[in-house]
Structure 1
């Protein structure tokens, strides 16, 4: 049953945000008033909610437990049920662009970092990005926030809930739910070691003598960690590190705890809920413990609950795995609303290092359109490294090794994982993306800014919602000194800017920081006006004869705007023959980026090194587009 002390902590620790509700009733219960005492209508609402949740719960739990859980979840959400339980197919459009940042990516040494971040966002990025993913801002013990000590508090070193609220009032807020594990300092784990309820039964344990070799590992550290408890030494499951202990969702009380946390984040203004490392959630001996049916059922359950309380909230899964496995989290358009497009960063990086588009095109042609009501979350850099597992099978062995070698030459680090056979292989490349593109496989050159901007322009044009890591917008270099201080490879791309130094760098138009932010701001604002860039608009891979060109066609949902997105991936000028693009002769065509007009559709256009063009037949298509009605 619900833990009363935790319920009071949720109420006391979070600022109050009214839950937004749709205006169209869909529960078919016109006399139902949210939060009222038990009535016949209340009983009907419970029956309908239970009818939707129980089939998912019964995939995971015995029938009697599923029935109990459906009742407990209803008790938690009944006061926030949205009058419209219908799916919202207009959660996003061409206007959506996100920023990814830590709460302390910018500091001034005096004010809470979240206050500094809020000010910087309002001064520099309001009107540019529409949403902000603040990486875990909770008290933590390691892994830069991903070993959470308390899900319901803001790390006092960053600020307080009032600062989160300020950002949420200006931007759509994305919050992490670190769902696979908690810090070894979390209250639940302290209860586990002391043999106290409820945490005593909240964690996955194992026998060091059992065969767990099939378990997929993202790290090279031991899977089981011995800990001293009130009943002696026990070995807990630690997928990521000894300080990050895996919770046990086989215990239904653990599920209830995380439902409470999700509701707390919604109350705190979250419009996106990111399920961190969700692919590892369910453990079953004799399997690889990845993407198990129970895990997918949990994602479906969380989506269903969110839809009941606010259909405008999007659920995002973070699964840094090979492409086919990643795509599975769309389910039958009933799991994640968005999935990270993990294959994009390594393939795009490789294409720009090699100066040719073949692997990028092959991958893109194999990517299915996102189902209606779902979208790709496109990114090229993040707080983590550039994942190499999503590139498995997509690059030749020689190119794979050349990519790794070039990244080392550009100052990058390589993090390893342990395979089932005990061998180790690259898990991710740790590097600032700006410095990753300081040259090609042939060495460094003068095209770093242009090459980097090309990478971001491609990402913006692809099917999906674009997300920029703050250090990409700011063209931050490798933080090599940070790696030396922390001993952690990922620190290389987690620099903390001093606000005064950053403002000085941005005020100097000759710095790469100023050049990149100014041009990306301009491009983002252009992009946000084009309905052909709707996350679900048509995308078709083009095949210009020149392998140095990467080209694709986007068409708006209403088919009135086309954009031919063409990019020179090389450090040499390249010819683009318009006759290869099939431009409709009755339309007037021009480039959104340069504003060049094209009267002659048989012309040959010369693309400068790393130049991009968005060739369109329509200006400023800013009207909202209605998604098709689903049967």
Structure 2
């Protein structure tokens, strides 16, 4: 065995021993490790990954989209998406997260029927590979559950064949009172099988049946899936709903130690197969729990910055940056080899759990009521004591920012751009939802047709209608796309906006939210300041302590900064990026 494979195998054995401690296995951990190495095709010439290495830079921008967010008659949606990227974003966006593009039965792709196929209505693996050859491809690994219509679950019902022992079951009299989950539906689903009635575990819905990772065959199956995705050009793996992976009856079944060890093991496999491939964990949980998925720079390379959306939206709706500033000050810098994945809108709603402990109950209630007044919907979860609690707000971001807690106003566009200008400048890699890029508004028809609150922010554009909207200067869509592209094209040229560049929070009062970024070579400084209120606010340059011997420029407007003791009057929701040159 080579000098590289032997230590890899030993590491896998150690990780497997930790995961399956106190579980009687049919195979030894040695045999399982060898199987994983074979499936991942890890040979003697593998290059060991270098720890604490950043595989990202200020040039990395991720577009988040469904494969069919844009459709064109007579063309597969993945081909239409590639055309849109090439025509509108190729000089701005270098990465694309295509949400689940597999055959599915519900939840807009997150109830996967077959992990090895591309949904024929979207296109083919050739279309996926074509996109991956021009853009860094991010794909979901829907690892907690699959569709109840999958072949695996069919075999579970029959009691034989691949998948017959892949699913977690419990008993009705088990103590499940402390299980944490984001849904109000019953946790267990009764299923008639060839071996009698079973009660399968369903964290999210009864069409989404949870895997039982106590069976190493499930882990091996997902190693095979990962290998196929790597072969098809996937560079970034989004571990969907990973926090719920491991279950123990009588426990809360979220963020368990075995879950963290599975993440570490999968990172070992993925990095060994492709040292530049990365993992981003999707853990919509309170902030302190979310941070644990960095591990010691040996778990996720990136974590979704879930607290940012509700805090930033709350800031812009209240005109007070206290909570956003306090949170930013509390966030540890991401060490080399890790990064934050920043976003303020996605295919899901705006999660409220990550704001728990950061916003008071009264403030959360006010936020929910304001979003409802702007046409949004609220999704609920059941707490341990049976209470119904707001889980997420479902609304298109453009509509979420059409006013303040006082009501709608004329600053919708400016407030929307301000939110993105803040997010683009923060430490981390920005992810931009396609409907934010296009200024898409609430889709009430899709909401009515699906009865799914999340559908309100999952509009499907007809390409001709979209191009007409983008060509009409009287509509906000063109203005949104042009302005966001301009901000991003400025961002990707600044070394101080590297995802791991230094960041310090500025103290400029309640209406000015600001932070300072410095490049890793310490040559560039950028002061990022936003007026988060609906009134003009003066920014005294003396508060920034700009070095008088250097020349300064405001990057967004391109204006030179003269007189470092003067004030700059910021219009409502205006952002400035003041940089030395």
Q: TM-score, normalised by structure 1?
A: 0.90
Q: Distance in 1 between matches of 2:37 and 2:50?
A: 19
Q: Distance in 2 between matches of 1:398 and 1:73?
A: 50
Runs (5+) with no aligned partner, structure 2: none
CA contact under 8 A between 1:378 and 1:464: conserved in structure 2? Answer: yes
Change (3 A) 1:608 1:80: farther
Aligned to 1:345: 309
Does residue 496 of the first structure (1) align with residue 455 of the second (2)? Answer: no
Superposed counterparts of 1:110-189, under 5 Å: 110-189=74-153
1:90 CA drift (Å):
3.6
Superposed counterparts of 1:75-86, under 5 Å: 75-79=38-42, 83-86=46-49
Change (3 A) 1:453 1:242: same
Does residue 50 of the first structure (1) align with residue 9 of the second (2)? Answer: yes
Q: Distance in 1 between matches of 2:97 and 2:293?
A: 20
Aligned to 1:294: 258
Q: Distance in 2 between matches of 1:81 and 1:310?
A: 14
Aligned to 1:429: 393
Q: Alignment partner of 1:510: what SS?
A: coil
Q: Alignment partner of 2:133: what SS?
A: helix
For residues 120-165 of structure 1, the C-alpha deviation after alignment (integer angstroms, 9 at most, x for no partner) is 1111010111100000000000000000000010000111111111
Aligned to 1:585: 548
CA contact under 8 A between 2:4 and 2:46: conserved in structure 1? Answer: no
Superposed counterparts of 1:359-398, under 5 Å: 359-398=323-362
1:82 CA drift (Å):
6.0
1:77 CA drift (Å):
2.6
For residues 425-468 of structure 1, the C-alpha deviation after alignment (integer angstroms, 9 at most, x for no partner) is 01100000000001111111111011000000000000000010
Aligned to 1:94: 58
From 54, 59, 70, the equivalent of 2:33 is: 70
1:45 CA drift (Å):
4.1
Runs (5+) with no aligned partner, structure 1: 1-41, 619-631
1:600 CA drift (Å):
0.6
CA contact under 8 A between 1:359 and 1:395: conserved in structure 2? Answer: yes
Does residue 523 of the first structure (1) align with residue 482 of the second (2)? Answer: no
CA contact under 8 A between 2:169 and 2:201: conserved in structure 1? Answer: yes
Q: Distance in 2 between matches of 1:78 and 1:189?
A: 28
Does residue 612 of the first structure (1) align with residue 575 of the second (2)? Answer: yes
From 305, 309, 321, the equivalent of 1:357 is: 321
Q: Distance in 2 between matches of 1:135 and 1:149?
A: 15
For residues 553-602 of structure 1, the C-alpha deviation after alignment (integer angstroms, 9 at most, x for no partner) is 00000000000000000111101011111111111111000112112110
CA contact under 8 A between 1:87 and 1:307: conserved in structure 2? Answer: no
From 555, 562, 581, the equivalent of 1:599 is: 562
From 523, 527, 546, the equivalent of 1:564 is: 527
Q: Distance in 2 between matches of 1:306 and 1:381?
A: 28
CA contact under 8 A between 2:377 and 2:394: conserved in structure 1? Answer: yes
1:79 CA drift (Å):
4.7
Q: Distance in 2 between matches of 1:117 and 1:250?
A: 39
CA contact under 8 A between 1:82 and 1:309: conserved in structure 2? Answer: no
CA contact under 8 A between 1:414 and 1:489: conserved in structure 2? Answer: yes
Q: Alignment partner of 2:550: what SS?
A: coil
Q: Distance in 2 between matches of 1:269 and 1:108?
A: 25
Does residue 461 of the first structure (1) align with residue 420 of the second (2)? Answer: no
CA contact under 8 A between 1:81 and 1:308: conserved in structure 2? Answer: no
Aligned to 2:244: 280
From 297, 312, 316, the equivalent of 1:333 is: 297
Q: Alignment partner of 2:59: what SS?
A: coil
Q: How many residues align?
A: 576
CA contact under 8 A between 2:103 and 2:114: conserved in structure 1? Answer: yes
1:83 CA drift (Å):
3.6
Aligned to 2:187: 223
Aligned to 2:413: 449
1:397 CA drift (Å):
2.1
Q: TM-score, normalised by structure 2?
A: 0.98
1:86 CA drift (Å):
2.7
For residues 519-545 of structure 1, the C-alpha deviation after alignment (integer angstroms, 9 at most, x for no partner) is 10111000000000000000000001x
Q: Distance in 2 between matches of 1:352 and 1:138?
A: 37
Q: Distance in 1 between matches of 2:343 and 2:360?
A: 23
Q: Alignment partner of 2:78: what SS?
A: helix
Q: Distance in 2 between matches of 1:238 and 1:446?
A: 45
Change (3 A) 1:157 1:580: same
1:44 CA drift (Å):
4.4
Q: Distance in 2 between matches of 1:294 and 1:67?
A: 18
1:48 CA drift (Å):
2.0
For residues 16-55 of structure 1, the C-alpha deviation after alignment (integer angstroms, 9 at most, x for no partner) is xxxxxxxxxxxxxxxxxxxxxxxxxx45444222122111
Q: Distance in 2 between matches of 1:164 and 1:150?
A: 16
Q: Alignment partner of 1:372: what SS?
A: coil
Q: Alignment partner of 1:590: what SS?
A: strand
Q: Distance in 1 between matches of 2:394 and 2:28?
A: 44
CA contact under 8 A between 2:4 and 2:48: conserved in structure 1? Answer: no
Does residue 61 of the first structure (1) align with residue 20 of the second (2)? Answer: yes
What is the RMSD computed on CA atoms of the aligned residues? Answer: 1.2
1:608 CA drift (Å):
0.6
1:81 CA drift (Å):
6.8
1:93 CA drift (Å):
0.7
